[in-house]
A and B are shown apart, each in its own frame.
Chain A
Amino acid sequence: GAVVSQHPSWVICKSGTSVKIECRSLDFQATTMFWYRQFPKQSLMLMATSNEGSKATYEQGVEKDKFLINHASLTLSTLTVTSAHPEDSSFYICSAPPGTRDFYEQYFGPGTRLTVT
C-alpha cells in the first residue's frame, strides 16, 4: 500500500529555535499533502494544504509566517516551525492522497513529536 514517512519521528528543541519536519511519499507522487497538529487527547486539526509548485493554503488561525511549508517536489513537503515556543509542542502529522487511486483515500505519516523546552 501507499506509504508516507516523516522525519524526524521526534525532536526536542530550545525555545526560539526553528525546526524542520519532512514528509515524504515513498511509493507514489503527491501533488497535494496536508499538515495536521494533534494535542494530547484531542483531535487532529488541519493546519495547511501543501501544493507542489505553489504556495501552501493555511487554515484560519494558523500563522503562515510561523509555520513555513515548502512542497519542493512531488514526493516531499516540509514544515518548518520558526521561533518555536513551548506552546508549539505537539504531534505533527502529514497526509497525502495517492494520485493513482481514489483521491479521497489518504495515507498518513507516522507523525513527529515536537517538544520545545
Chain B
Amino acid sequence: SQKIEQNSEALNIQEGKTATLTCNYTNYSPAYLQWYRQDPGRGPVFLLLIRENEKEKRKERLKVTFDTTLKQSLFHITASQPADSATYLCALGDQGGKLIFGQGTELSVKP
C-alpha cells in the first residue's frame, strides 16, 4: 500500500538557519506533491506545489525539490524565524485532486 514518511522527530533549529524537512514515499506515482503548514487546532495552509516533471520550486524563503527516482521531496526554509514554528505536512496528489498526507514534521525555531 501507499506510504509516506516524514521526519518523525521534531526539528529544532536556531533562528536564521535553514530548516530542511524530508518526505519519502513508496508504492505511489503522484502527479504532484504539495507542502502545507498546519498550526495547532487549525486547517492546513497551502505553501507550495511541485509537479512530477519539475525538479525544484521556490517561493520567497521556501524551496522544494522533487526526485521521482528516489521518491523523495526536500522542503527548505531559509533564514528561519520563530514565526515559522509549526507542523509541516507533505501530501501526494493524483489527477483527481485526492491527497495522501504524511504524518507531518513539527518544526521549532528558537530565537
Contact = CB atoms under 8 A, between A and B. Distances in A.
A105 B49 contact: yes
Interface residues of A, number: 26
B8 to A, nearest CB: 11
Nearest to A4: B43
A106 to B, nearest CB: 6
Contacts of B104: 43
A46 B32 CA distance: 17
Contact of B43 (A45, A46, A49, A110): A110
Given A104-B32, A105-B46, A46 B103 contact: no
A44 to B, nearest CB: 4
Q: Is the interface of B mostly helix, strand, loop or mixed?
A: strand
Lowest 7 A-B CB distances belong to which pairs?
A: A108-B43, A43-B103, A43-B101, A44-B101, A111-B43, A108-B44, A110-B43
Interface in A46-83: 46, 49
Interface of A: 4, 6, 32, 34, 36, 42-46, 49, 91, 93, 95, 97, 102-111, 113
Contacts of A108: 36, 43-46
B34 interface: yes
Interface residues of B, number: 24
Interface of B: 4, 31-32, 34, 36, 41-46, 49, 51, 89, 93, 96-104
A110 B32 CA distance: 24
Contact of A49 (B31, B49, B96, B102): B96
Contacts of A4: 43
Most buried by A among B45, B46, B103: B46
A43 B49 contact: no
B24 to A, nearest CB: 14
Nearest to A96: B97
